[in-house]
Amino acid sequence: MSGDARGKRSAGLLLFRHTEHGLEVLLGHMGGPFFARRDAGAWSVPKGEYEPDEAAWDAARREFQEELGLAPPDGEAIELGEVRQSNGKVVTAWAIEADLDPAAMVPGTFRMEWPPKSGRVQEFPELDRVEWLSLERAREVVVTAQATFLDRLTEHSD
């Protein structure tokens, strides 16, 4: 995303499941050239921006569909509140217990000029992959501010 994200708001859904190895969460690796070779800080709750006249919950479900190409799961939604990322964007999230096959994802795309100042516009996936990650692994790679969502989910699951 270009420019300053201050004042912008995003909403998303954090899927989780219980496995024999413990709690796992579904995170997406951000697509595009800026994140292609990054791991730490390049993973996020599937989310997207919304306008003030749209309810955050509706935006979270719409963005899940747009980013993953899959219908958002039904189930009890656990409010995880909001966090402010280092770029100033405020992200609101809900957790839903569900299982999903990451291979079924058909990512939404965005267009940007790449390489910079080349005049060439290319299309990139919003998320280039999604994976089920243990909480420990998720904390290592998720956008720093979003680790708070993992903490809140853990508190709710205890």
The pLDDT tens digits of the residues spanning 39-64 come to 999 999 999 999 999 999 999 999 99
| 87-126 tens-digit pLDDT | 999 999 999 999 999 999 999 999 999 999 999 999 999 9
Cα distances from 14 to residues 41, 72, 113, 129, 139, in angstroms, run 16, 10, 30, 15, 13
Instruction: Output the pTM of the full model.
Output: 0.92
Task: Provide the pairing of β-strand 9-19 with 90-97.
Answer: parallel
Please give the sequence-ordered ranges of beta strands (E in DSSP) within 2-157, or none if there are none.
9-19, 22-30, 43-44, 47-49, 77-84, 90-97, 109-113, 121-125, 127-134
Asked if the model's pLDDT at residue 2 lies above 60, the reply is no
Assess contact for 130 and 22: CB atoms under 8 A. Answer: no
Six-digit token pair at 82? Answer: 């909001």
* pLDDT value for 1: 40
Tokens describing residue 133: 């990650």
Q: 40 with 29: CB under 8 angstroms?
A: no
Residue 112 C-alpha from the chain's centroid: 20
| CB contact at 8 A, 68 and 105 | yes
